[in-house]
Structure 1
Amino acid sequence: MVNRLIKRRGMVDAMFTKRDWKGLTATQEMKIRSLAFNYDDWELLDALRDCLDPFDRVTTILSGDYPTQSMSYYAVQTLKDSVQQTFHLSHYHAMITTSLKYQCEYYLDSFLPPAQKLGMKVAAFLDPLFHGDLILNKDDYETAKRVVLDNMQRMDSTGSNIPVTSSSNKSNSSSTSTSDRMLVFKSSLMNITNKKAPPPLSLHPVTVDLEMATFLNLIRDNEMINFQTFWKSNYRNLPRLSQLARRYNVVPATSVYLEQTFSVAGAVKNIRRASLSSLSLRSLMILKKKNKIEKLRSFLP
């Protein structure tokens, strides 16, 4: 709204400078003239638009379709950077930025629970799109990496169901004959020495360090890939991390998406459909969100 008003500045000024005051009393004319914007008023509106633009964009993004915790980390860091700028176009810019800086320090640093801030860091660490942004903050990156490693080691100690990676059986035709000869040679030696064949590498569990190193290499080559696409393609190679990725990014960053669902449910069960049962309402809501459910299921192994 402020942006539209600024774009029509010439029209607004013309309403007062080119107005015909005939037929109005002096009191009425004075009252209307007091509503006119002066130069300082326009400067203040410009400063409000410029300083609040990052907040408007972040609000729009986080109010969209199921914002994740990793997205919220990027949004919070963007807001912090926007209020830390030292170059100001005017006195009003400096005044508003200073006020916003104190508000951000309270709401984004002191008001947010520590567990939520930690969850956002871990979610950004596991998201290819925001992993690079987390690296820019060394302390946050090291904290998230340490938490991820602790969770992976805890999975091993508690005996969590970690799927074993499967090796690829693809090979080119040029090396097939050589491999066959080597297999025959190996089998003959094992028969002579009565040596048992070792279990295949595909049955060996991946160590925590190897899985982390594999993840860091993969994420550097796929930093612009979608979160869902990345983990759908690599969940077999990263069994522990894929579980953590689902755990930390399944929680929505805001309640807007859930509130929209309740609003839709209220519109479906209106006064004309008051006798609609809860089971029927649930079925209708599932049908409406069927594409979202299928998208979520496609991520699961």
Structure 2
Amino acid sequence: MNSDAIKTLARAVIETEARAVSALVDHVDDDFARACEIILGCTGRVVVLGVGKSGHIGNKIAATLASTGTPSFFVHAAEASHGDLGMITGNDVLLILSNSGETDEVKQLLPGLRRLGVGIIALTGNPASFLGTHADININVSVAEEACPLGLAPTSSTTAALVMGDALAVSLLESRGFTREDFARSHPAGQLGRRLIIRISDLMHSGDAMPVTRPGATVTEAIVEMTGKRLGMTAVVDNDDRVQGVFTDGDLRRALEKGIDPRTALIDEVMTRNGKSIGPDALAVDAVQIMQDHKIQGLLVIDDDGRLAGILNFHDLLQAGVV
């Protein structure tokens, strides 16, 4: 095959799978809603079963459910009949994937699962199949055709099952009122978790590490403070630590361009009043947005009483992996 033929085939695969996904919209029906209700009422966990390619998709669906507020894990259908069935309790709900609905490993499990009394939700491409008719609810994930030119390799069918699994997870997430803070608690090590769980108070410079200048100080004194603390800025606060303004490297450049004498000019004359600030309890990701929107490199951290609580630099966000 030449490169043009390869690109044509690849585009055809994508178009075929896109059509399969689009057709799923008509399969989101009362059975889908009932499946969500059963899962929401579950006092145990959602146990996802599958084998082969359906097993791979089921594993991902279980991971997505677990990370979005629905306790879930995956059990390989073949291993279930060799002891892993003991992982399932009567309080759980089963989500079983089989495109044909006739997978032998799944069919062998159903009598035992029925005796256990668990709710069974099927994701099949054949509602009239053994699995489709023996499940409490069947969610139809049938596709018109596989994207494989031979019509054999699971392609469109696995994509459809994966997308329907995502639809379930997101519907359950919204129904539970799952928030981004909840999401962060289950993703503390990843960048997403860091962006959603780290607060300004975790990163800010406070105490003696804060560059602070008092009103009435000269620009030279402010420069010395900025240089010593290496944050590219200094807060200007009164004797009660209430913020009066901020003086940055940018303010210094602009002042020098105007010809001021830093030895005699007062900080009050050149500082920025009402500079951008943030509270100590805000999320670090909110600081990123403020800095990006206003093209600045630092923020004053001010408490509810208007007092200086800390200073945050863009490099602090970088080092914490928030950016």
TM surpasses 0.5:
no
Q: Which has the larger helix fraction? A: 1
Q: Which has the larger strand fraction? A: 2
TM range (shorter): under 0.3
TM-score by length of 2: 0.22
TM-score by length of 1: 0.24
**Greater RCO, CA 8 A, separation 6+:** 1
